[in-house]
A and B are shown apart, each in its own frame.
Chain A
């Protein structure tokens, strides 16, 4: 738990001071011991089910070449832990190049989505112009189109633009998501008009009002858009699989699938590759999870 979170929880702790020793639920009522024990038991069981597979993968990736990874009963701890498999992945496929390609795609996706959907969301929520309703409708329709169904037409469109087999081609179709535009629109709609009116009276033009007043007030939603954009681009499989054909340009997900096909015989290598792909995301998520859960919760309640 971070320091910031502890600080935030302090007022509640002070209120509950008279009975600090007992564990209480969200309403401040005490929880019975056996119920608490049962809860933790269930929580740990689900934990084993959700996180266990990742831990097993990590364990496999650390097992040496002479170690039996197929033993029954299974051995959970490597007897001689080694990082050798990580070196070997890099020797067999250019895994760091793939990771760098994924990073480029994901970063570009974050920037374009934040800028593009903030701009469009602001126009939809705050600006008055003929055609605003039509614009909103366009984004709603776009959100409803199932991407899996139009993927072949996206591919031919990309070919007509001459962008097939490029990283730009990977980024473009999702670079401003209609869903994100509507999320930003809702965030701007929830701001009180009065502040912007004050700025308006002081002579601020529309760009100044957008940049100095509206945008700083919707940081939370912007953070959610950024995290979703990063995860979406880093994790995407179907579209890069279709648009990329040159192994030099593979993103990590496509490269890993390739690794699996070529070296399916050595699970240690595949395991090391998957850990390389998943570790940065878990780290990113662990750092940002507080904003994330708050933002997703807010979005769901408002939506």
Chain B
């Protein structure tokens, strides 16, 4: 009986162990569910804010406009209905705030109760009109036509070049500049960090004495632990003004500043991991190479580097992954202009920085909010892919070593 109790008890404890080990899996599943639930919501909404409508003359053959078309119309880049597939008629914008110029107060009504009629009347008289009005004013007595708006779709979301999520009348949700900005900054960071990091790891693993290595290694590990916001702060007070002075720019907050800060942050990761990889080279291999008359440098680049190649690759990819996902430091030094980057001396905005900067102001459940979650999904997918690549590269190493 006691034995039975004991074994049940043991089973129970083991069950607890099992349950806690499934938490990570559960966490990933939950993250996917919550991230994508909100993110996918983006693609079911119109880019026009709830409670507003676009109205035109009732005989206008256009039924639907896309966010981009709306923006171009209101920016007066498109001035003819023909461009968006309608009749050959010029577009006139009508601002509802100016309605007093055309109709007397009594015609509009004390509480704007006749406003729908006025709007209808105005669109009737000016067939090329388009107006952005509160949906409330398209109720009773309204005879114009309400345009529908093309819902946000994935291909537009990824390929459009403008990110103005709070723009009126239609939000412009194009992630391309953000994706390119992220890649641009990360690419610059790796360009700086990789040669420096590799050189340092080779120096620490093979060239210097163990004494110096024992000083350097803890120092570099310590620097890996320093919060990103401190690096960002350092970038803000030193690197940003420095860049502004050296290149004589109006602002120092540039992609270059982001790349430098990210490179400094990625260095400890790259150095530690690739140093570990370099040190896995079997002593026998090194000694065989030296015994054959190769000197130390030849041994390093003919034996040690090829042997630990996959480890170094993994370190590089992890460094890139860290750079892509880094938020605070980048947010503080890159200037956050959502434009497609052309040079390293322009402000850029990355995906994580966009989320961090805008989520606080986006009304919950709105299009902007959901679009930021969609950005989170993109980030999640990118880093997931990077993880899988790292996993693949490291598993390949095991196979080779056998």
Q: Do A and B come from one complex?
A: no
Which A residues are within 8 Å of any B CB, using their own CB? none
